[in-house]
Structure 1
């Protein structure tokens, strides 16, 4: 229950901050996944990376595309595949939101745990995945 409550609290805090940018945590995670990959990705790669269903990725991509933050194009080498990439607006929103994201994490984790405890927590959480 402690892990659930901690996650729930942190998600609430993040969702509150992200809403100011017309983002949900799911949309934010898609943008960060695309930025982190450094390349266009197929929707199934994003879905696997974020451990969410294909249907959820489709909805997230639809909303991000409508907001102009991502674009979907046919793969030139295989027109049956769709590639998802960040638009300039997508890159810009990441630059705007990242400091707010980091501040929220710091307020909810970093200010409560020592650096050593943060490293231990990261190590333990990675073991669970």
Structure 2
């Protein structure tokens, strides 16, 4: 809920408007380019790839679905649909969480891990092409700091 204001809205000035629009266009084009890259070069979509990566980095290659959704900043229904697709491909398996019948664990299968290992270099090539190599080191560091600040501000309202 926005803070209550007294008076006029805090409009963006001309420079802020330019930067905002640059961000919107850049973020949209980057997401589209990486999604297209995955569609053309990998057997998993970008969102499927991110699920596989998160599971590969978790102890036992397993994670509760709710924690997976939170970590990816995806809705729980989006994660459920993505995991269903990965399960149909044999890349993950779902099971009841130990000690909690309401919780669901998602586990990376050996086939999913092997696929991730094979496709990671291709994914990184796309990330380099569309983001890392498009920026100098200072720009990349600044972008990382800026996006971390944005993520913090967004989490505060959750």
Same fold (TM > 0.5):
yes
- 1:36-51 equivalences in 2 (<5 Å): 36-39=57-60, 40-51=62-73
Using the alignment, how far apart are the partners of 2:89 and 2:142 within structure 1? 38
Tell me if structure 1 keeps the 8 A contact 2:42–2:122: no
Tell me if structure 2 keeps the 8 A contact 1:41–1:84: yes
The more displaced of 12-21 and 83-92 is 12-21
Which one of 34, 47, 72 corresponds to residue 26 of structure 1? 47
Task: Say whether residues 1:88 and 2:79 are aligned partners.
Answer: no
TM-score by length of 1: 0.89
TM-score by length of 2: 0.74
CA 1:69/1:18 → structure 2, altered by over 3 Å: closer, same or farther? same
Using the alignment, how far apart are the partners of 1:87 and 1:59 within structure 2? 18
Structure 2: state its 5+ residue gaps: 1-20, 152-158
Using the alignment, how far apart are the partners of 1:99 and 1:118 within structure 2? 20
CA 1:112/1:81 → structure 2, altered by over 3 Å: closer, same or farther? closer
Larger relative contact order, structure 1 or 2 (CA cutoff 8 Å, min sep 6): 1
Task: Say whether residues 1:2 and 2:38 are aligned partners.
Answer: no
Task: Say whether residues 1:77 and 2:77 are aligned partners.
Answer: no
Matched residue of 1:33: which SS? Answer: helix
What residue in structure 2 maps to residue 102 of structure 1? 124
Structure 1: state its 5+ residue gaps: none
Corresponding residue pairs, total: 129
Aligned-pair distance for 1:38? 3.0
Aligned-pair distance for 1:65? 0.2
Using the alignment, how far apart are the partners of 1:3 and 1:93 within structure 2? 33
What residue in structure 1 maps to residue 37 of structure 2? 17
Using the alignment, how far apart are the partners of 1:21 and 1:91 within structure 2? 14
Using the alignment, how far apart are the partners of 2:131 and 2:48 within structure 1? 22
Q: Give the 4+ runs in structure 1 shifted more than 4 A.
A: none
